[in-house]
C-alpha cells in the first residue's frame, strides 16, 4: 500500500528502527509530520543531524558533551572528593535530576557482560583507575544498575579500587518511594529488610 509512496515508506522504515517503535507507530508519526508545516520537518532533520555533529564524549568522565571537558568536569563548585560511577549518560542524568549528589562522575559506557563478550577492556575501567590514581577522590559511589551485570561490575570495580585505599560505596537497595509492599518483588523486600535502619 505504501509502495506507491516511496518517500513515505522510507520515513516509516527509518522511524521503525527506534526501539519500541513498530510499523504502526512509525506510520502514525510519519502522518503527523506530514500534516505539520515543512518548517517542523526541517527543524527535526536539523536537530537529528546536529546530534552526532555536535555531541562527543568528555575526555575526563566520558559523559556526552558539546565541550571538552564537559560542564560537570569543569564546574569548580563540584566536590572533587566524591566520584559517582555510572553505566550510561542516562544514569548520570537520573542522579542529577534527583539533586542528591554534588560530586563528579565517571561514565563506564557499558557494563561487564561476559555473555555478550564485554570485558573490562571494553568499558572505561582502566580510564577510571588511572583517573583515581592522580585525583583528590576520597569516595567512589558505584551506581551501576541493580541487574546481574551491574552488580558484577560493581564487585569487580570494588576489587580494582581497593588497593587505592579509597572508600567504595554502592547506592542503597530498598523499597522505591510510593510503592505498596504487596506488589514489590521478593528480592527487593529481602534486601530492604537486610538493610533496615534505626528510626
- The footprint of a copy of itself (CB under 8 A) covers 1-2, 4-8, 10-11, 13-15, 17-21, 27-34, 36, 38, 40-55, 64-66, 70-72, 88-90, 93, 96-97
For the record, the C-alpha cell of 111 comes out as: 557494563
What's the closest the beta carbon of residue 100 comes to a copy of itself, in angstroms? 13
Neighbours of 108 (CB within 10 A): 24
How far apart are CB 194 and a copy of itself at their closest, in Å? 32
Toward a copy of itself, which CB reaches closer, 2 or 129? Answer: 2
From the CB of 104, what's the least distance to a copy of itself, in Å? 14
**Identity of the residue, 107 or 132, whose beta carbon is nearer to a copy of itself in the bound complex:** 107
How far is residue 114's CA from residue 130's CA, in Å, rounded to a whole number?
23
Q: How far is the CB of 68 from a copy of itself (least distance, A)?
A: 12
Q: Minimum distance from CB of 46 to a copy of itself (Å)?
A: 8
| DSSP secondary structure string for all residues of 58-73 | -TTT--EESSSS-HHH
Residue among 33 and 129 whose Cβ is closer to a copy of itself: 33
Q: 575526555: which residue's cell?
A: 59
> Nine-digit cell at 162?
581497593
- Using CA atoms, how far apart are residues 174 and 168, in angstroms rounded to an integer? 19
Q: Do residues 57 and 92 lie in contact, with contact meaning Cβ atoms separated by under 8 Å?
A: no
Q: Which three cell numbers stand for residue 171?
A: 547506592
Nearer to a copy of itself, 68 or 159 (CB): 68
Q: Which is nearer to a copy of itself, 89 or 132 (CB)?
A: 89
Q: Cell digits for 1?
A: 500500500
Amino acid at each position: 500500500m505504501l509502495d506507491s509512496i516511496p518517500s513515505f515508506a522510507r520515513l516509516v522504515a527509518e522511524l521503525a528502527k527506534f526501539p519500541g517503535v513498530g510499523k504502526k507507530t512509525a506510520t502514525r508519526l510519519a502522518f503527523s509530520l506530514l500534516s505539520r508545516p515543512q518548517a517542523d520537518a526541517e527543524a527535526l532533520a536539523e536537530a537529528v543531524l546536529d546530534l552526532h555533529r555536535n555531541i562527543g564524549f568528555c575526555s575526563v568522565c566520558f559523559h556526552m558533551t558539546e565541550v571538552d571537558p564537559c560542564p560537570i568536569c569543569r564546574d569548580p563548585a563540584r566536590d572533587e572528593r566524591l566520584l559517582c560511577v555510572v553505566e550510561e549518560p542516562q544514569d548520570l542524568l537520573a542522579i542529577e535530576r534527583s539533586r542528591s549528589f554534588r560530586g563528579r562522575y565517571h561514565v563506564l559506557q557499558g557494563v561487564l557482560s561476559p555473555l555478550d563478550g564485554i570485558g573490562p577492556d571494553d568499558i572505561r575501567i582502566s580510564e577510571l583507575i588511572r583517573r583515581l590514581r592522580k585525583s583528590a577522590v576520597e569516595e567512589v559511589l558505584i551506581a551501576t544498575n541493580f541487574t546481574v551485570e551491574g552488580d558484577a561490575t560493581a564487585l569487580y570495580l570494588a576489587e580494582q579500587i581497593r588497593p587505592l585505599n579509597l572508600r567504595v560505596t554502592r547506592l542503597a537497595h530498598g523499597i522505591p518511594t510510593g510503592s505498596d509492599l504487596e506488589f514489590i518483588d521478593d528480592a527487593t523486600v529481602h534486601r530492604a529488610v537486610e538493610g533496615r535502619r534505626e528510626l
